[in-house]
Structure 1
Amino acid sequence: MFVVTNSETEALTISVIIPTFHRPDGALAAVRSVLAQTHAPSLEIILVDNDANQSCKPIAKQLAQDAGQTPFTYAVEPAAGVANARNKAVGLARGTFVAFLDDDEVAKPNWLANLIRAQQETGADVVFGPIEARLPAKHTVPHTYFQNFFSRRLDGPTRLIDIPYGCGNSLLKRETVLTKAEPFNPAANETGGEDDILWREVVAGGGTFGWAQDAWVYEDVPPSRATWAYLTKRAFAFGHNTTGQWYNRADKDYVRMVISMIKGVAQALALAPLVALLWIARHDRLAWAYDKMWRGLGKVFWFGPFRVGFYGAAAQKKQLAAQKA
């Protein structure tokens, strides 16, 4: 780990956390977009490399120079897993608020300023901003559906909302949300959904969620994700999280876990014939129905050998296999 800091900085408003795994180019773009923020309050940047081989160290050295007077920390979390990486960064953060930006996201210049303004207007414990996906030039999937699938949009102005989103492009109030030593549950290291578990705890504690209408980021979708195979795997894993969150939380709720599985059975059975018809007709709604069907199956088969790993040890094994091939 190395730290570049400005000794004159006594209090920091925001700690911007960027976890990364084998995406040095993405991490480079993400950090530079934070350094380019306008009208932003005092901030620090924490880049956590979730690779024991430190694949992002070369670009981190360059970023440390680019940071200038902006405090910048590069740290390594060798234990693979998205929750591990987030927890490592939170432990290093010094800001009153913590903002998360993924390593495939690039923030617009007024991103942080708009997140903070939305938090001040709503008083929310967690604030989410919109995401605009950018698909690769060459892809074979339905553009409109996949554009919407990877994007995050919500009509209307900045306000309090009832349903939370993913951790990418979010602002968390440290004193009310990140109170534990490990706020993100390591049980979700491979499948993701560590943020869903945390949001449940926020609700249980009386916390609120907000929407920042103008806090935009871009998400660059690599060619490997703009495929039917990725959609299948991702939808199945999303279903895992819907059911698994009731089992992975500290106060396990077996009743809701079973209810989620029953809903998954009904969802999959209802959508399977619709998917077949839409496939034959090559209808525009095929991708939507296909996604929902696999989410239903994921709610049912969320345990043991059925679990799909996107992060952590599963991703590490996939990366090693690719290197040997």
Structure 2
Amino acid sequence: MLISVCVSTYQRPEGLKRLLDGLNQLTFSKCETPNLEVIVVDNDSTGSASALCSVKEKNFNGVLKYSIEPTRGISNSRNKALACINKDTNFVAFIDDDEVPASSWLDELLFVQQKLDADVVTGPVFPHFTETDVPNWVLKGKFFEPTHFPTGHPLKVAFTNNVLIRFEILRQIHIMFDERFALSGGEDSHFFMRLSRAGYKIVWADTALVYEWIPQNRTKMKWILRRGYRCWSTQSLCERELYPSIMVLSIRACKGIGLISQGFCLLLPSLVLGQHAIVKALLHICRGTGTLAGLAGVRYQEYKVISGIQNDRKPSTSFRSGC
């Protein structure tokens, strides 16, 4: 059995190193040890991750491929990764370059897939704060704690920060990650919601653990509120397109209005309860506003092209795969 693990990266050398080290230490006890290939797609046209991948390739337990996608955008890099995988692969996994999997991560995903004959299996992502002095209100508010479901719980969406996909179903899909979401994020929500709508089985694996490195700049109120707005806006954009019935959109609109109303109701008591409660109230308002904005077709581009970055530079020719 062959599993292809896809990684998109952009100027995160330390994170990518941690991830590759973690992937190199995967263990298997519940399932037969598979053959492994890891595809790293560098979304930096200068090929800044090339040297690191070249070093890691020498002692890697499996095949390590490296390629460059010069066109900025997360959809573009994910699609490039899918284009680079071995066509004889059985499963495709996705994980982010600021994450590290538990050693049993892939074993748990495979075990649940085999047990339930699922098309897609996804699991939790736990926070790992890079700074020791994390603000108390962040911890008390649990803003980075993952959602939990019982293993096997059916879902209508998954995300590329921790997921396993049966490769057979990818052969049947014309459009993979929609490039309209390249700079806004949410391409994974749209992709997996399409799979769910097509009848494919998505389930949860609560023991397939991944840890996300949370830098200090993400433990700020502005970042948390902005991410809340974007994520709920993206969800609405996807539902607006994939489930365009008046009933579905009306329910979504009511959710948005309800969140805003709830947020304003919580603001006054939050002044007594503390900063975590204030941020939670504001987060309700941001999520509700994002919900309504998405329904109106507003697309918030979180990953805009950085000023001064040139996308038309020639890729590095060192350590290139045949993909």
Query: Same fold per TM (> 0.5)?
Result: yes
- The gaps in structure 2 that reach 5 residues or longer are 311-323
- What's the offset of the Cα at 1:15? 0.3
Alignment of 1:104-253 (within 5 A): 104-135=98-129, 136-140=131-135, 142-145=137-140, 148-156=142-150, 158-177=151-170, 179-247=172-240, 249=241, 253=244
Once residues 231 and 206 of structure 1 are traced to their aligned partners in structure 2, the CA distance between those partners, rounded to angstroms, is 33
- CA deviation profile, 1:1-30 (whole Å, cap 9, x unmatched): xxxxxxxxxxx5210011112211111111
Distance 1:166 1:141, change over 3 A: farther
- Partners of 2:163 and 2:180 in 1: CA distance: 21
Shift of 1:221: 0.3
Shift of 1:319: 7.5
Which TM-score applies when normalising by structure 2? Answer: 0.84
Of 12, 25, 38, the match for 1:45: 38
Secondary structure (helix, strand or coil) at the match of 1:74 reads strand
3-state SS, counterpart of residue 266 of structure 2: helix
Taking a change above 3 Å as real, the CA distance of residues 62 and 257 of structure 1, as seen in their structure-2 partners, is farther
Query: Are the equivalent residues in 1 in contact too, given 2:234–2:299 (CA < 8 A)?
Result: no
Report the CA distance between 1:245 and its aligned residue.
0.9
Q: Deviations over 1:254-307 (max 9, x none)?
A: 744565345323321332231343134416544333222211111122489964
CA distance in 2, matches of 1:308, 1:274: 26
2:316 matched to 1:316?
no
Name the residue aligned to 2:315. none
Whole-angstrom distance in 2 between the partners of 1:257 and 1:317: 37
1:166 maps to a residue whose letter is F
Look up the equivalent residue of 1:120 and give its one-letter code: Q
1:144-201 deviation per Cα after TM superposition (whole angstroms, max 9, x unaligned): 356x433424253x31423433221110111124633541111111221111111221
Paired AA for residue 20 in structure 1: T
TM-score, normalization: structure 1?
0.84
Task: Give the letter aligned to residue 225 of structure 2.
Answer: T
> Structure 1 residues 176, 145: closer, same or farther in 2, change over 3 A?
farther
Question: What SS is found at the alignment partner of 1:91?
Answer: helix
Gaps of 5+ in 1: 1-11, 321-325
Q: The residue matched to 1:224 in structure 2 has which SS?
A: helix
Deviation at 1:53, TM superposition (A): 2.0
**In the alignment, what sits opposite 1:97?**
91
Q: Of 266, 279, 285, which aligns to 1:274?
A: 266
- How far apart, CA to CA, are the structure 2 residues paired with 1:122 and 1:65? 36
Q: Which amino acid aligns with 1:253?
A: P
Cα RMSD after superposing both structures? 2.6
Residues 35/308 of structure 1: CA separation in 2 closer, same or farther (3 Å cut): same
Alignment match, 2:16: 27
- Contact between 2:253 and 2:295, CA under 8 Å: does it hold in 1? no
Q: Is the 8 A contact 1:122 1:160 kept in 2?
A: no
Counterpart for residue 8 of structure 1: none
Q: Percent identity?
A: 25
57, 69, 76: which is aligned to 1:64?
57
SS of residue paired to 1:54:
coil
Contact 1:141 1:228 in 2 (8 A): no
